[in-house]
Structure 1
Amino acid sequence: MEDIALCGVSACLVIIADEDGRNRKRKRWWCRDLFEEGPRFAVGLLDKLKLNDATGFTNFTRLTPTDFEELLLMVGGQIMKQDTKFRETIPASVRLGVTLRFLASGDSFASLMYTFRISKQAISQIVPEVCEAIISALKQYVKKPSSEAEWRIVANDFETRWNFPHCLGSIDGKHIQMIAPAHSGSLYYNYKNTFSIVLLGVADGNYNFLYADVGCQGRISDGGVFKFTSLYNTLENNSAHVPSVEALPGRTEPVPYVLVGDDAFAMSSYLMKPYPGRALDIPKRVFNYRLSRARRIIENVFGIMSCKFRVFLKPIALQPCKVESVVLACIYLHNFLRRNSVSRQSYTPPGSFDSCDTDGNMIAGSWRRDINECDRLLDLMHVPRRASDNLHKIRDEFCSYFVSEQGTVPWQYDAII
């Protein structure tokens, strides 16, 4: 039956009479005219774009022809099917092309059916299969540091590029909207009155995912989402192999290495967030600004991903487990497309991300111009929480360092005015 569905075949029951006069049913199969040349038509479509319109192919799939062929080599063995005596199967290149077009456009399976001339029943099987294959093939592209040396590389990058020392990554979470699953009740119902699962991500200083967790139900308190992740458990158990506490440059008070987040997270010895309120003195405003520069990395990553992979533009009409696969495939593709200078140039050309001028003023990235259209990832709810005095002392030490002779940067005071 799988091969039948893949070729867009429908069934008709024909009633005929046996010799003894009894009626029996015989199945007869036929193919709609639309699907007669389905696989061959789709192959021709992709080949014409690759050969004659490389820019159009990149816009169609979000991958350059070179990246597409490299990815096809990596996943082809997992998504290839065997021909039968009755019909040819859909080629691996078409399966990958259909899936990438779904991720890039968010079109319904019915719409993709007319684009590729492959039945929507076949596409509904192809997309989850290929997403799982992408996750499996690209698993080395999203890797949490596993040693102190690897964490220090991340921290040095944040200190050099974003002027925030002892930073292990930028953390944030988003609600991924989806159509309400059948018989799920309020399990996925979130504070925005929609249905969702939660994506929690950590990015390094170069706009790549270090860690991602997808699948927490939307009804769970946003502040508790982090506690359901493996990263939280390793940090709580001191098994993440992060560097030990040590003093900031030119200081004597030891402070831990931390993630930087916003008010949706509880402050801890391994997670810093801004000072609350508006009537803050200059040092606290400087701290909030410096933390915001580092935390903005993950905000940019989510923004770019939702603009490039427009499957996030509207609620995803799949079951939660398949939505998880779609989201993870986009995450792995994001890192895959930023693996070298050539791919980065195509995927995130100069000006895509936020930047700062010589006076420290932020220059909005190009993705923000489409924020009303593209940013449909819902933020986690900000919940005020009281932190212990010891945690306040850690934050105050960072604050003092940023206005000290060793930690200040010339433009930080102009930027907060």
Structure 2
Amino acid sequence: MEGIYLPEPTTEIWEQSAKGFREKWQFPNCIGAIDGRHVTIKCPNRTGSNYFCYLNKFSIVLMAIVDPYYKFICVDIGGFGKNSDGGIFEASNMGQRFEANLINVTNHTPLPGQNEPCPHVLIGDEAFALKPYLMRPFPYRQSKLCPRKENYNVRLCRARRVVENAFGILSQKWRIFLKPITTKVETTILIIKTACVQHNFLRVTQCDNPSNVLSKEVNQTNHENVFTAMLNDSRRATNIAFNVREKFVAYCNP
């Protein structure tokens, strides 16, 4: 069931997600919204403060990339509650694959009204670092002093809420998330992953949306070898990230 309703993301799945974000949330070239959710657990034995989070509880983190129809595309489960969302993502398998450009994302395409190619990106909150493949809002003070940045923040945050809504749907459907889970960490991870798969099953079978196309085929073709080489230089990668964000700012301020 996992291979059908939470499969390895393919180019087709990313393209369906990008189409949905463009049509439903008016944020083109977006392949997913990313965020982490703290799942409350009973403190494991002899783990110190690893699982103690800023919410004053013990937790493990469900890191998820969600499509525009509230369906999970990728999940990473089991991060220590004490760690930040950005740090958990960068250390995760899916974060490392994004960094190496091994996630089958479609080719770069220009944003509407622009001529230069723009990469397809994830969107997240301030907890994540700005990357060429991950857009985040401008800091609050900057956005309030610049209407162009504020317009970009509003558009991005509106589209990014789908991941928070997906977590809310998950919690309300499976009430086990509303109280501490008392099983071993390994078992808790399996419980969370099973809930994510069942969540996708219900989204696919009960909701009429174009994201219902699920492919079992994995395309390992790397479409952006030059882009990957540039990522190896962190300074150049940072400059690329700023340039990519400016393209989205220009799109949000026609």
TM over 0.5: yes
Q: What is the alpha-carbon distance in structure 2 between the residues aligned to residue 317 and residue 192 of structure 1?
A: 18
AA in 1 matched with 2:76: D
The 8 Å contact of residues 139 and 332 in structure 1, kept in 2 or not, is answered as no
Alignment of 1:163-178 (within 5 A): 163-178=26-41
SS of residue paired to 1:390: helix
Q: Percent identity?
A: 40
CA-CA distance at 1:400 after TM superposition: 0.9
1:287 shift after superposition: 0.9
Q: Within 5 Å, which residues of 2 pair with 1:31-110?
A: none
Matched, 1:327 2:192: yes
**Partner secondary structure for residue 204 of structure 2:** coil
Query: Structure 2 CA distance, aligned partners of 1:144 and 1:269?
Result: 22
For 2:32, the aligned partner's letter is: G
**Residues 247-396 of structure 1: matches in 2 within 5 Å?**
247-278=110-141, 279-340=144-205, 343-344=206-207, 388-396=238-246
1:179 maps to 42
Q: Does 1:227 align with 2:77?
A: no
Kindly state the Cα deviation for residue 291 of structure 1 after the two structures are TM-superposed: 0.7
Contact persistence 1:227–1:233 (CA under 8 A): yes
Matched residue of 1:338: which SS?
Answer: helix
Q: Distance in 1 between matches of 2:20 and 2:8?
A: 15
| Residue pair 2:132, 2:238 contacting (<8 A) in 1 also | no
Whether 2:249 is the aligned partner of 1:402: answer: no
Distance change (3 Å), C-alpha of 1:138 and 1:390: closer
Determine if contact 1:138/1:336 at 8 Å carries over to the other structure: no
Deviation by residue 1:181-204 (Cα, 9 ceiling, x = unmatched)? 122222212223321111001111
Confirm or deny that 1:140 pairs with 2:4.
Answer: yes
Distance in 1 (alpha carbons) for counterparts of 2:101 and 2:45: 40
Is the 8 Å Cα contact of residues 170 and 202 (structure 1) preserved in structure 2?
A: yes
- Partners of 1:293 and 1:321 lie apart in 2 by 35
Q: Would you say the 8 A contact 1:179–1:318 is kept in 2?
A: yes
The answer (yes or no) to whether the contact 2:32–2:67 under 8 Å persists in 1 is yes
SS at 1:175 equivalent: strand
Letter in 2 for 1:300: N
What is the CA RMSD across the aligned residues, in angstroms?
Answer: 1.8
Amino acid at match of 1:146: T
Q: Distance in 2 between matches of 1:217 and 1:175?
A: 9
Letter matched to residue 299 of structure 1: E
Distance 1:165 1:284 in 2: 17
| 2:65 corresponds to which of 192, 202, 209 | 202
Letter in 2 for 1:143: P
Distance apart, 1:248 and its partner CA: 1.2
The structure 2 residue matched to 1:188, chosen from 51, 61, 68, is 51
Structure 1 match to 2:212: none
- The residue aligned with 1:217 is 80
Consecutive unaligned residues in structure 2, runs of 5 or more? 209-236
SS in 2 for 1:337: helix
1:44-89, CA deviations, whole angstroms, 9 ceiling, x for partnerless residues?
A: xxxxxxxxxxxxxxxxxxxxxxxxxxxxxxxxxxxxxxxxxxxxxx
1:390 to partner: Cα distance: 3.3
Normalised TM-score (structure 2)? 0.82
Between 257-266 and 187-196, report the one with greater CA deviation: 187-196
Deviation at 1:144, TM superposition (A): 4.0
Q: Which amino acid aligns with 1:140?
A: I
Distance 2:84 2:21 in 1: 30
Q: Does 1:158 align with 2:21?
A: yes
- Partner-residue secondary structure (3-state), 2:167: helix
Name the count of aligned residue pairs.
Answer: 224
Please tell me whether the aligned partners of residues 138 and 332 of structure 1 are also in contact (alpha carbons under 8 angstroms): yes
Question: How far has the Cα of 1:245 moved from its partner?
Answer: 2.5
**TM (normalized to structure 1)?**
0.51
> Larger relative contact order (C-alpha < 8 A, sep ≥ 6)?
2
Q: Tell me the CA shift for residue 220 of structure 1.
A: 2.8
Please list the CA deviations of residues 348-393 of structure 1 after superposition, one character each: whole Å capped at 9, or x if unmatched: xxxxxxxxxxxxxxxxxxxxxxxxxxxxxxxxxxxxxxx9343222
Name the counterpart of 1:101.
Answer: none
Instruction: State the secondary structure of the residue aligned to 1:388.
Output: helix
Residues 233 and 389 (structure 1), Cα distance of their counterparts in 2 relative to 1, 3 Å cut:
closer
C-alpha change, 1:249 and 1:344, in structure 2 (3 Å) is closer
Aligned counterparts of 2:174 and 2:104: Cα–Cα separation in 1: 34
Q: Relative to structure 2, which stretch is displaced further, 256-265 or 238-247? A: 238-247
Q: Name the larger-Rg structure.
A: 1
Q: Work out whether residues 35 and 85 of structure 2, in 8 Å CA contact, stay in contact via their aligned partners in 1.
A: no
CA distance in 2, matches of 1:232, 1:138: 20
Q: Distance in 1 between matches of 2:100 and 2:240?
A: 19
Give the C-alpha shift of residue 275 in structure 1. 1.1
Deviations 1:79-107 (A, max 9, x none): xxxxxxxxxxxxxxxxxxxxxxxxxxxxx
